[in-house]
Copies of this chain bind each other. A is one copy, B any other.
């Protein structure tokens, strides 16, 4: 599905443009044509490609999706691929690729389908529109740089979503930490830790290349962005640095948690072994006493004592209590 709007300089609001008359609406210094697509069919793509003169290599990327986060220069336009990230109901990472192709006077945003069939919150352009309009109406806005501001609005919304993912990771790290160091721990920590690790690895793969993309923009490699947009993108760049710093910390802590978990398990095994040894000694000691008085020697004076039996039981109890105290004191029980 394609929708297209014309944004006239100095005029508030968006004008709808028929999808097959895009070329007429492009008028670089004055207006911005924004074409937004979702569930793009091959026919639609072909129409866009011929109208907007998109390179056939870029068009191929738009058709297939599955691009890595990148900024590519084509003679006639730029192509930015980014990934909106979120977590689904099972806390698995969901990524939604957004391809932004732009040049002087027009911007094409293609929202690729999410990589999870059961995506709880697909990417919506409303947040982008809202942020873009707000900035466009602010006083220090320069009219002919709307392309850059729209790119910024997309990136800003997407990167804001990264912080939520980070926060959710923090919550899960806290949960795992609590279980690792609690005395009533379950046995499914390795699975928890590994799931979290996988999410982090995938998240990092989506986010990390965005640093280079933004650095290239800040070096003004894409010349149609404009000064205001660059200043705003500096802010997004800073956010991306925070996100990647945060992921690194979280990965570090996760590794630390798994190591701590192994140490905790080893400690408990030691504890179990000591307890086992202690109780084994106590029970075997008493069994030995019983065994001794079960021998069939003719001359065993104790057997005929009136209090022989209570004495034997008593010595068993004494041994049990004695060993119990001794092992307790050494911390084995």
A residues at B contact (CB < 8 Å): 55-57, 67-68, 70, 72, 74-75, 138, 140, 177, 180-181, 187, 189-191, 193-194, 197-198, 201-202, 205, 209, 231-232, 234-235, 238, 241-242, 245-246, 249, 252-253, 256-277, 279-281, 283-288, 290-300, 302-309, 312-313, 316
Distance (whole angstroms) from the CB of A122 to the closest CB of chain B:
24
A166 CA to B292 CA, complexed, in Å: 64
Partner of A238, one of B70, B286, B302, B316: B70
| Pair B274/A266 contact, Cβ less than 8 Å | no
Pairwise interchain contact A297-B312, C-beta atoms closer than 8 A? yes
Assembled-state Cα–Cα distance A180/B249 (Å): 26
Q: Which of A261, A280, A288, A298 has the most chain B CB atoms inside 10 A of its CB?
A: A288
Contact B257 A265 (CB under 8 A): no
Complex Cα spacing A75 to B264, Å: 54
**Which residue of the partner chain B has the closest CB to A275?**
B277
Residue numbers in B under 8 Å from A55 (CB-CB)? 231
Given contacts A190-B260, A258-B259, A290-B291, 14 further A-B contacts (CB under 8 A): A57-B234, A57-B235, A181-B194, A187-B271, A190-B267, A197-B256, A201-B253, A209-B245, A258-B260, A261-B263, A280-B284, A294-B294, A297-B302, A299-B309
State A89–B191 Cα separation when bound (angstroms).
30
Q: How many copies does the complex hold?
A: 5
* A70, B286: Cα distance in complex, Å: 71
Contacts of A56 in B (CB 8 A): 138, 140
User: For the complex, what is the distance from the CA of A68 to the CA of B248, rounded to whole Å?
Assistant: 14
Q: Which residue of B lies closest to A173 (CB)?
A: B198
- Pick from B232, B299, B309, B316: contact of A297, CB under 8 Å: B309
Tell me the nearest residue of chain B to A296, going by C-beta: B303
Closest-CB distance, A111 to chain B (whole angstroms): 20
Knowing A56-B138, A68-B241 touch, does A297 contact B303 (C-beta < 8 A)?
A: yes
Question: Which residue of chain B has the shortest Cβ distance to A68 in the bound complex?
Answer: B242
Contacts of A316 in B (CB 8 A): 292
When distances are taken between beta carbons in the complex, the residues of chain B under 8 Å from A57 are 231-232, 234-235
Contact between B294 and A283, CB atoms less than 8 A apart: no
Q: Which residue of B lies closest to A290 (CB)?
A: B291
Contact B313 A264 (CB under 8 A): no
